[in-house]
Amino acid sequence: MASQFTHEWSGIQKFPPATQDKLLELLGKLKEKKMNRLTILVLGKGGVGKSSTVNSIIGERVVTVSAFQSEVPRPTMVSRERSGFTLNIIDTPGIVEGGFVNDQALDVIKRFLLNKTIDVLLYVDRLDSYRVDMLDSQVVKAISDSFGQEIWRRAIVVLTHAQLSPPDYLTYDEFLAKRFEAVLKVVNVGARFKKQDLQNFSIPVGLVENSGRCNKNENDEKTLPNGTAWIPSIVETITKIALTESKSILVDQKLIDGPNPNDRGKLFIPLILLFQYFFVIKPLQRSIKNDIDKEAKPLWA
């Protein structure tokens, strides 16, 4: 990966000391396991806060944030180095356009990722959305189709706008539980996880509040309404994923032009049709013909 673009991670010094300590501790955990590089891919619909989240985690304004529909046209990789550890975060344009998944945008992203290894996927949406719908499961399905279902074993569902006031009849934690349930359901369906898959695995959820108006605790750390300092918390979840058993996703040429990794079975369709022709349709035609021949002279004749 283009090391000439790797800068010293100076943004980390802008975090309050308590956050810095926690981040360095987590990087230390990765280095202990001989990991000295981590690549995070950020995907989601437009306007959900992908770029803002990249900036928040890096602690610098590195990618463009826009309140209106004018996004980075291309994926961007930001690389930062800190005591021999390299953190890469890849920001991407939204993959939905006009209410549909934009396959072209996904293709551009895939080609950008050629020969890169994705250790962690941040699938970003908003906490304060009113509902999930078909489009959400289509976005998830498109990601599975592009990178394989296994990418979800390396994923964190990230929900932005986490500093919200829930409706009067719900506490913040009750609201979280309900929204998590809805989003995870749509992700599990879109990723085509089966019940038995979900028995010993569930995708973690991370909360993010990118606003400059985010509340802070006595250590000057940005906190959510439930008191969590969210930056150390999400970096901890990222670290956990990075250290799981499941394999990172290598985006090679085969993945890019190969058949959709979830649809390999489609290759057999012509074979199945041939089989049906010779072993089902042909014998059937033969037996019908025999019957007709036998009955050539009608019984009543």
Q: Which residues are near Mg ion by CB under 5 A?
A: 50-51, 71
Angstrom distance (rounded) from CA 240 to CA 93 = 26
CB of 13 to ligand GDP, least distance (A): 23
Torsion of CA 194, 40, 157, 202, to 10 degrees: 40
**Residue 149 exposed, middle or buried by CB count within 10 Å (0-12, 13-18, 19+):** middle
* Interface with ligand GDP, residue 210, by CB under 6 A: yes
Q: Applying CB under 6 A, which part among 47-55, 166-174, 194-202, 241-249 lies near ligand GDP?
A: 47-55
Rounded to a whole number of angstroms, the minimum distance from the CB of residue 127 to ligand GDP is 8
Q: Which stretch binds ligand GDP (CB under 6 A): 61-69, 140-148, 184-192, 263-271?
A: 61-69
Q: Binding segment for ligand GDP among 63-71, 195-203, 268-276, 278-286 (CB under 6 A)?
A: 63-71
Q: What residue is closest to ligand GDP based on CB?
A: 49
Report the alpha-carbon distance of residue 58 to residue 87 in Å, rounded. 9
138, two tokens: 């289509």
DSSP string computed for 23-79: HHHHHHHHHHTT--EEEEEEEESTTSSHHHHHHHHHTS--S---SSS---SS-EEEE
Site map (CB under 6 A) of ligand GDP, residues 73-102, x = contact: ---------------------x--------
67 scored as a contact of ligand GDP (CB under 6 A): yes
Q: Which does 171 bind (CB under 5 to 8 A by kind): ligand GDP, Mg ion, none?
A: none
Q: Is 179 in the site for ligand GDP (CB under 6 A)?
A: no
* Of residues 42 and 132, the one with the C-beta less far from Mg ion: 42
Q: Counting contacts by CB under 6 A, is residue 39 touching ligand GDP?
A: no
| Torsion sign (Cα): 88, 58, 18, 166 | negative
Q: How far is the CB of 40 from Mg ion (least distance, A)?
A: 15
Distance CA 262, CA 148 (A): 6
Please tell me whether residue 108 adopts helix, strand or coil conformation.
helix
48 binds, among Mg ion, ligand GDP, none (CB under 5 to 8 A by kind): ligand GDP
Q: Which of residues 145-164 bind ligand GDP (CB under 6 A)?
A: 160-161
Out of 119, 136, 209, 221, the residue judged to bind ligand GDP by CB under 6 A: 209
* Residues 240 to 279 in contact with ligand GDP, rule: CB under 6 A: none
Residue number with CB closer to ligand GDP (65 or 255): 65
252, burial (CB in 10 Å: exposed 0-12, middle 13-18, buried 19+):
middle
83: left (phi over 0), alpha (psi -120 to 50) or beta: left
Closer CB to Mg ion, 75 or 206, in the complex? 75
C-beta of 21: minimal distance to ligand GDP in Å? 24
Cα 163 to Cα 191: distance, rounded to the nearest angstrom: 28
221 binds ligand GDP (CB under 6 A): no
Nearer to Mg ion, 19 or 52 (CB): 52
Nearest to 126 by CA among 209, 213, 230: 209
Q: Which residue has the tokens 């309900």?
A: 178
- Name the site residues for ligand GDP (rule: CB under 6 A): 46-52, 65-67, 71, 94, 160-161, 208-211
